[in-house]
Chains A and B, each alone.
Chain A
């Protein structure tokens, strides 16, 4: 079955989440990934939205993290402090982040390009991203893969990855044991090396070579001896995605 890049991203992101856990969901692809996970391998994956919606059924896609649908038929409709405090208390496993730039340690920029006080380009700013990147156990970044986005040094660290390397998060005061877990792109799936905390290639997407990934990464990516291949979206995944999750084609 044919599929597009967005559908592939959603499927791969969705497969990273285990059942019976919680995920902080951002606008767009993470919502579709969580909805797909719920309808396939993780029926008890609980979506948490930053303005207070928890355990929503995601039958219709929310248009924002505080949209009516983020708490439609949910188990709780509380507040931003409530859910952020749950994350700070150690209760939230996954969280999705994104940005205009990412570096080898998974630090993300969604604030500016250039000088802060008179930037060349202004982006929206942190929103909940810094909170998610600081507090959840495992951060999953979803990115477009090219050399402009995968850079040696980001212009601005909006959201913390492993900062400058091993132990840097803990030294900065962030909760131990948290940090970047996966980076999902249109080309590949990356993780992070246990020792150096630098980004490591885990698997390439269908039809993509390791060389292609290297060429599109603006820093030295760790390439292990064995690189897996991501499976393309299954017929079941695509059917659920197109017919149940996003039937009007808002995102896919």
Chain B
């Protein structure tokens, strides 16, 4: 198979199929062992300086915000990040923790562009590879498959390709050009779900974004959940288990863990809080003030929720849509 063209971007972590297989053999367990712990312990135990991490979410929806805030609290530096990033990657960048990013989109959707990304990109201190949304998800899919790449038909002919780490080859079967996406085999995946049991069997309501792929692309997987349910409940609806226990290393109970983002069927986004963040993000100084107030001055997600206040939490809960 001849390589016709190569993207110029650095491959932050080359696919490590066999190393990961060995790693899984040594480190993953099929035993039903309780994995419930605090976000502070989960992050301290499983995320290390320089790690390549991935977050899964869709915009301001089902975001692992409590875990992202904990990474900021612990100031784990020199991270390489892959993700469809909105606020969770924004705060990691704002705290100066990210060196390299496999980026598809970083902005505030209806609320506009991200000044945090702008400052980091325009100063040249953040190394950015470009990808499309499907490419990012398919790269995780390749990792989940345990293969080094996946041939797809996006990105070709564009600068998005040129500044990625993908390659175009001639297909050995059809002779047509296809784009090969390198597998993203993550050190740590971070996902927020609706429900999980103490072993890490996870249920998600509504669309599932790229949670399936991210969970299977990660060595270590930290799950935060709105509620911990019994394993009996999991066994009642085994078809709902989108992430099974043997993939999971930590389960953190985090009600309103997606705040200020929304959680389908559970609570609506905190539009007031988001407007504070969007406003604060406009200058470096006010961004740091936001992080000081909402992350560094607090010890835990519990303290964060206390600062948000019960009234606000009740309000966003009342605005959630039913079925």
Question: Which A residues have a C-beta under 8 Å from some C-beta of B?
Answer: 27-28, 49-53, 60, 63-73, 77-81, 84, 87-88, 107, 111-112, 116-131, 134-135, 156-160, 163, 168-169, 172-175, 250
Contact = CB atoms under 8 A, between A and B. Distances in A.
Nearest to B171: A173
Nearest to A127: B105
Interface in B168-189: 168, 176-179
Contacts of B135: 130-131
A129 B132 contact: yes
Contacts of B264: 68, 71
Interface string B195-218: 000000000001111111100000
Contacts of B128: 116-117
Contact of A172 (B103, B156, B208, B321): B156
B159 A172 contact: no
A126 B105 contact: yes
B107 A124 contact: yes
26 contacts: A28-B110, A50-B133, A51-B59, A63-B60, A63-B109, A63-B110, A66-B61, A66-B209, A67-B60, A68-B61, A68-B268, A71-B206, A88-B153, A88-B154, A112-B121, A122-B122, A124-B106, A125-B103, A134-B154, A158-B160, A172-B156, A173-B157, A173-B168, A174-B153, A174-B156, A174-B157
B113 interface: yes
A51 B157 contact: no
Interface residues of B, number: 64
A116 B153 contact: no
Interface in B85-107: 103-107
B12 interface: no
B159 A111 contact: yes
Contacts of A112: 121
- 8 nearest interchain CB pairs? A66-B58, A173-B177, A172-B157, A124-B107, A127-B105, A52-B207, A64-B59, A122-B121
A121 B154 contact: no
A35 to B, nearest CB: 15
Given A127-B105, A129-B132, A77 B207 contact: yes
B265 interface: yes
B253 interface: no
Contacts of B57: 66
Contact of A126 (B118, B124, B127, B160): B160
B33 to A, nearest CB: 29
Interface string B221-249: 00000000000000000000000000000
A66 to B, nearest CB: 2
Given A68-B264, A68-B320, A173-B156, A126 B130 contact: yes
A131 B133 contact: yes
B117 A158 contact: no
B137 interface: yes
A28 B292 CA distance: 33
B131 interface: yes
A117 B134 CA distance: 23
B262 interface: yes
Contacts of A87: 134
Given A28-B110, A121-B122, A173-B157, A53 B207 contact: yes
Contacts of B320: 68
Contacts of B137: 79-81, 84
